[in-house]
Amino acid sequence: MECKTRTNLPINHCAEMLTRTLRSEVGLFAQPLYKWVTPRFKLEMRNAGGRFSLYQGPGYLFRWKWGVFSHVIAIYAVVFKYSIMNVYLEVCMIKVEEILSTLSPNQKVNYDKVFQKMASTWQEAGLRPNILMHVCCAPCSTYTLEYLTQYADVTIYFANSNIHPKAEYQRRAAVTAQFVKEFNQKTGQSVGYLEADYSPQEFFKKTQHLANEPEGGDRCKVCYDYRLDKTAEKAVELGFDYFGSALTISPHKNSQTINAVGIEVQKLYDTQYLPSDFKKNGGYQRSVQMCEEYDIYRQCYCGCVYGANAQGVNLVQVKKEALEFLKTHRDYSHIPFKVLDKN
């Protein structure tokens, strides 16, 4: 398990997490400290009930000395409002590697089951992590949001400079934002929407030498890496707990490759990759159904000019239709997005 911190949050948040910590597996020796801290510093201890599995994760062996150390540090942080540790201990932000380490090296990974194990850990701890989820279009956002919002607070990140032409990028962005609005209205969720700058020159610079690669080949892998890198960078900038991608909902995308790329990207940033395979358990079929329910535009090609040409897509017609759409569908300022406190 990993212990992360956020700074300058209300003392009650810290008190709540400290209480849960003190009632964890090492509660026997921690209870005296708990009883001493509470009255002296007038901390409001909330939601103290229940069992909090602070040090129990797949492949993690509990060590008493680390239990003692972390409890002392937690109490010190609360009492003295230490600026670095102060003071929201997110003790259950489990890493994907911890689960993968328990599997056979030759085993094909079911990334949906890996996600479910991570989500179970959050639920046991009573946590809802903040996730920045890359999406490529509204259809891929559908079931992804329906599934993820059961467990976490989600902001989707439309970062797809691979899409050509620009008008089609703008149409897909507008349709995605409109879906988020309607999804929130229908479900009562507060999914946020964030859109990256359109920088096709960056994409072409990375992929022009791979123009003749087939769909699903090395060019696509570079594209996954490019977009997941953008997402991870933004997740760090805004303080999200995890970053991930809805690309895995497509039956035309290799989820093993996408997740492998995501795990590699996380090594470059101070954030965690969220594994997924959203097409599992009827996820793709549900996305098709939701597109009908919300009357969502479904594009006929993935996005890049290489793939469109290979499929024989008429990009002139695509641009014409996109521009017609944009004449009446440009404003999505109503979509909520709240930047997390980074201080």
- Per domain, the residue ranges of the chain are 11-80, 101-326
Strand-pair partners of 52: 24
Cβ neighbours around 127 below 10 Å, total: 17
Which pLDDT belongs to residue 67? 54
Tell me if 136 is assigned to a ligand binding site.
yes
- Please measure the distance between the N-terminal and C-terminal CA atoms of the chain and give it in whole angstroms: 24
| Closest among 129, 86, 74 to 340, alpha carbons compared | 129
C-alpha 253/C-alpha 223 separation (Å) is 12
| Residues in contact with 182: Cβ distance below 8 Å, sequence separation at least 6, in sequence order | 294
Angstrom distances, CA of residue 128 to CA of 22, 117, 123, 212, 274: 20, 14, 8, 43, 14
Ranges in the chain, pLDDT < 70: 1-93, 330-343
Determine whether the annotation assigns residue 302 to a binding site: no
Handedness of CA 225, 230, 233, 239 (dihedral sign): negative
Task: Tell me the residue type at 234.
Answer: K
Cα-based distances in Å from 185 to 132, 146, 342: 20, 13, 28
In this predicted structure, what is the pLDDT of residue 291?
A: 97
Distance from C-alpha of 94 to C-alpha of 182, rounded to nearest angstrom: 32
* Contact between 162 and 296 (Cβ < 8 Å): no
| pLDDT given for residue 266 in this prediction | 94
Per-residue pLDDT at 46: 35
The two structure tokens encoding residue 114: 């890996």
The third-level CATH classification (topology) of the domain covering 101-326 is Rossmann fold (3.40.50)
